[in-house]
Structure 1
Amino acid sequence: MSVRVQRLAADLLCRALQSLLPPSMRDWGLAIRYEVAEIPEDTQALSFALASFRGLAPRAIGLLLMQPFGALHSPRAVGALCAAGSVAMGLVYMTLAGAPVGYLGINAGALVLGLVLLALVSRIPGAGGRLSGALILGLSGLLLATAFVGLRVEGAARWVKLGGVSVQPSLVLLPLMLAGFSRTRTPLATTGIIVAAVAMALQPDRAMAAVMTATLATVAVTRADRPTYLAFTASLLALVVTLLRPDALPAAPFVDQVLFSSFQVHALAGLAVVAGSVMLLVPVLFGGSCDGDSRATYLAFGAAWLAATVAAAFGNHPTPVVGYGGSAILGYVLSLSTLPRPLTSRDIPSRIALAQS
């Protein structure tokens, strides 16, 4: 490529990027053009323009496509809508299946409570996906306590009674902890995940041990390091223990085996359950153009809820969100807080630096 063509290509890339960026961010596009113009060497100028375009254009295009939907450019907002849609699909299923009206009220109430908590957590600076190691360790202590003092049914201690309602802490807390660990792999966080694995083995809970193993395997593939391998090994051992221990819990109506039994109720009920389960994974689509840490968090989030759904399909375990029970609904909405906040103009310099590194 000739020198003149390189300079022209660099300028065209800068102009294209500036036109793609939302109005509030176009000053950054102009700044990139000025920076490119100041680079005397044409090959370096083109390289800088390419790196800037590669780093910003995918997200700029995404924001452009999402503009008609307002706040939907936020993965948390999309996740909240998906949670509401999935709960609604679950209500359709339970209504057709003849579930008690109180079941519908509990699921709807759990959604409202979860959304309120998500809004409160989102107001905390630096909260979101950057769960501290101390918080992960503290939550793991609650899971371990459940194994010893929780409500015991058929030899399994997975629940606690809160205001007359049975809550499964592992469904509420583990997805949040695992997604947080994908970004916060400190010694405290690693210890917390190991303690949580011990808790799953003691309860015992095959489904949530499988969720831990699948999620941490995903994290290990995307962000391989010693803490992740330690946590994954602990979760794998916990899963083996739960498979060796007996699990005599029968299937609970409207809770377990919902993915298959719903089609026996009515085709519409089955389709509602499938649609609601698929909705849970929609926020993961936002992770494709993110940096390494954020991508790992999206994948951990998706792996956790996919594994929970698969485990429920093949065993007597709660079907997340679309089945009866507020624990998974609370857990899903709270785990949305680990997803990154939407990109703003303040994020542009770091995005450029990441693209050029």
Structure 2
Amino acid sequence: MGERWRERFPALLAIALPVLVGLAYMATGGAPSAYLIVNGAALALSALIVLIGLPPLGRRARIIAVAGLLALFALPLLTGPSMNGIARWLPIGPFILHAGMLTIPALAVLAARDDRLGPPALAAALLIALAQPDFASAFALIGGAIGAYQVRSDWRFGLVVIGGFFIAIAAALQGELPAVPFVERIIIDALPTAPLMAALIALSIAGAVLIMLFGTGLPRIARYPTGMSLFGFWLAALISNYPTPLAGYGAAAIIGYALAHAVAFALPDAAQERA
């Protein structure tokens, strides 16, 4: 257990750092206590997911996982809830989870791992993001495809990136909602009253991106799509009214990036190139 803890601690740190800073911001900024409870519980669950992990994932298991993640990502289109024609949330009892933040991190890892399955899977996910519509999910998928292209130099991932930009623009033109305090635009909202906290939130998310990109000890084929997808979510949150990943209220990104790292650690070592 000690060896597993040492191996996986950097991945857990990348998730926990912005979550803890976000909890501090919520506690000092007057957020509802339920927000702190939900994010704190999600962080505890993410620690279990990362540390316990998954069994080794063979090719058949990876194909099933990709299909399941795509289906889960698309589920809000069938179940709702919907607001102004926008359906990007999964209803889980009394909570709703952002479908993209829950599924895209692990999907990006699995897609990058398979040069035949990966590009079509990312393209299908981009079409789902357009249908929802969700600019943030589209940007995260572009980030994942960029990460895969950086390692594989496969033109098919490059084509996904190019197509993804057009899809992201289309989603942005029809998918914006008013910002919710402590969920969207938290860095911008914190700047006038708590500039130090705003800086800490920004630094914590930037630190999480860098740790995921370079510090988890995983192969590049897992690190780059994971870190770049987080950067995509964050960039969308800075550009417009989209959830701030990990630091803002919402369990989806916290659980989603824990699942992504659990998947990455479960991929066969022999099939991955280590940096």
Short-chain TM bin: 0.7 to 0.9
SS at match of 1:182: helix
Q: Distance in 2 between matches of 1:172 and 1:149?
A: 16
Matched, 1:335 2:267: no
SS at match of 1:167: strand
SS at match of 1:147: helix
* Correspondence for 1:111: 43
8 Å Cα contact 2:130-2:167 kept in structure 1: yes
Report Cα offsets for 1:140-162 as digits up to 9, x if no partner: 12222222322111221001221
Work out which of the residue numbers 222, 225, 229 in structure 2 matches 1:304. 229
Q: Distance in 2 between matches of 1:284 and 1:131?
A: 25
TM-score if structure 1 supplies the norm length? Answer: 0.67
Q: Distance in 1 between matches of 2:158 and 2:203?
A: 34
Q: Distance in 2 between matches of 1:221 and 1:208?
A: 20
Work out which of the residue numbers 234, 240, 246 in structure 1 matches 2:174. 246
Q: Distance in 2 between matches of 1:276 and 1:73?
A: 21
Q: Distance in 2 between matches of 1:232 and 1:323?
A: 27
* Correspondence for 1:196: 125
Matches within 5 A, 1:47-62: none
Q: Distance in 1 between matches of 2:213 and 2:75?
A: 32
Aligned CA distance change for structure 1 residues 153 and 141 (closer, same or farther; 3 Å):
same
Structure 1 residue identity aligned to 2:161: F
Matched, 1:83 2:11: no
The offset of 1:354, in angstroms, is 8.9
Aligned CA distance change for structure 1 residues 226 and 274 (closer, same or farther; 3 Å):
closer
Unaligned ranges ≥5, structure 1? 1-68, 342-346
Work out which of the residue numbers 213, 219, 232 in structure 2 matches 1:284. 213
* Correspondence for 1:262: 190
* Correspondence for 2:238: 313
Structure 2 residue identity aligned to 1:114: S
* Correspondence for 1:141: 71
Q: Distance in 2 between matches of 1:131 and 1:328?
A: 23
Work out which of the residue numbers 104, 110, 115 in structure 2 matches 1:180. 110
The offset of 1:237, in angstroms, is 4.2
The offset of 1:70, in angstroms, is 7.2
Matched, 1:216 2:141: no
Q: Distance in 2 between matches of 1:216 and 1:257?
A: 25
The offset of 1:89, in angstroms, is 0.6
Work out which of the residue numbers 84, 89, 103 in structure 2 matches 1:159. 89
SS at match of 1:152: coil
Q: Distance in 1 between matches of 2:42 and 2:26?
A: 16
Report Cα offsets for 1:65-119 as digits up to 9, x if no partner: xxxx976752x32111232232111111111211011110000011112222333
8 Å Cα contact 1:130-1:184 kept in structure 2: no
8 Å Cα contact 2:72-2:103 kept in structure 1: no
Larger Rg: 1
Structure 1 residue identity aligned to 2:201: V
The offset of 1:317, in angstroms, is 0.3
Work out which of the residue numbers 180, 184, 206 in structure 1 matches 2:135. 206
SS at match of 1:186: coil
Aligned CA distance change for structure 1 residues 306 and 83 (closer, same or farther; 3 Å):
same
Moved over 6 A (4+): 69-72
Q: Distance in 2 between matches of 1:71 and 1:263?
A: 39
The offset of 1:191, in angstroms, is 3.4
* Bigger shift: residues 107-116 or 79-88: 79-88
Number of aligned residue pairs: give it: 270
* Bigger shift: residues 234-243 or 216-225: 234-243
Structure 2 residue identity aligned to 1:221: Q
Q: Distance in 2 between matches of 1:151 and 1:70?
A: 43
8 Å Cα contact 2:54-2:262 kept in structure 1: no
Unaligned ranges ≥5, structure 2? none
SS at match of 2:87: strand
